[in-house]
Amino acid sequence: MNLSRYRNTVLFVLLSVIWGSSFVAIEAGLRTFPPVLFAALRYDVASVVMLVVVAGLGSRQKSYQWRPATRTDWLYVSIGGIFIFGLYLALVFVGQQYVTSGVAAVVLSLKPVVTPLFAVTLLPNERFGRFQIAGVLVALLGVIVVANPTSLGGGTVGVGLLFVAALVFAVASVLTQKIQTTLPTLTQQAWMMVVGALFLHATSAAIRGVPSVSPSPTALVSLAYLAFVASIVGYFVYFDLLERIGASEANLVNYVVPVVATLFGWLLLGEPITENTILGFLVIVAGFVLLKWATLKRGVVAVRRPSRSLPGASSSETVVVSGNVYYRR
């Protein structure tokens, strides 16, 4: 048991470092890559690797569904690919041109807060209490603090784009919950990456045509890191951790990632750490605590009384992660 806990801690820290540093890799790559094309190239590489993996599983296990087979499967993959891996990433990469790695990570940590807000609107049997409403409002206040609207400028534009990205992610995550599919999680991600990459390439071409790009060695290293480490290694670490500790604890990585991103941005890129960024992050975390107050209380009870089941505890939970785009039913 102690060895298992130690392993889970190591995986959690590793995941936080991988996803936190991915914001720094994006920042470095944006210095020579056009933002939307950069996002597209990232998932060109990652999708090919993932398709090879799922195709290999399909050849070894005849029962394994390695590709979408029904209209429902394709609808599910298309919504996730276009919005979660496409539009969301386009907004993130464009928005991060105007802000530091830490600010980007802080604003995107809002995703687990706003996703339940759309779930209440779009899904049956979802309810919001006073704590949940207060949590969302407090978290939104945190974004305003980070944006610092009194200094109206590029930073505010960047925060606005990242905030819209968080909303797009939240809506698409909830919409995919409404679609019933039997696709394995690995297959979902692989084909969503393919659709997302195609969407990003089409968007990049519509915005800039076919740009002439001369990426620096640093930008190429950043691209490789995002494709292989952040998107592939991070994926397997995350879902291994998810199976071991559950969604509630795994989701806490969202609130370690901004700290890692801020520190790495400061150490590697010399990005400033402002009081607004720190204060805004703390306010968003406070909003998350209010939103999840009932769940956190159940978790405390579970620790004190591990042998008893908890009435009303949910058997499944929306998984929203920061730094990368993953969603599990």
Per-residue model confidence as pLDDT tens digits over 22-49: 999 999 999 999 999 999 999 999 999 9
User: So what's the pLDDT on residue 2?
Assistant: 56
> Using 50, 70 and 90 to split pLDDT, how confident is the model at 254?
confident
The mean pLDDT value of the chain amounts to: 83
Counting residues of the chain whose pLDDT is more than 70, the rounded percentage is 84
User: What's the pLDDT at 301?
Assistant: 45
- Mean predicted confidence (pLDDT) in 135-149: 80
pLDDT of 234 > 80? The answer is yes
In the prediction, which pLDDT does 273 show? 87
Whether the predicted pLDDT of 177 surpasses 70: yes
- pLDDT of 6 > 90? The answer is no
Alpha-carbon distance 30 to 33, whole Å?
5
Amino acid letter for position 137 = L
Reported as a pLDDT band with limits 50, 70 and 90, residue 113 is confident
Q: What pLDDT shows up at residue 153? A: 64
Are the C-beta atoms of 108 and 165 separated by less than 8 Å?
yes
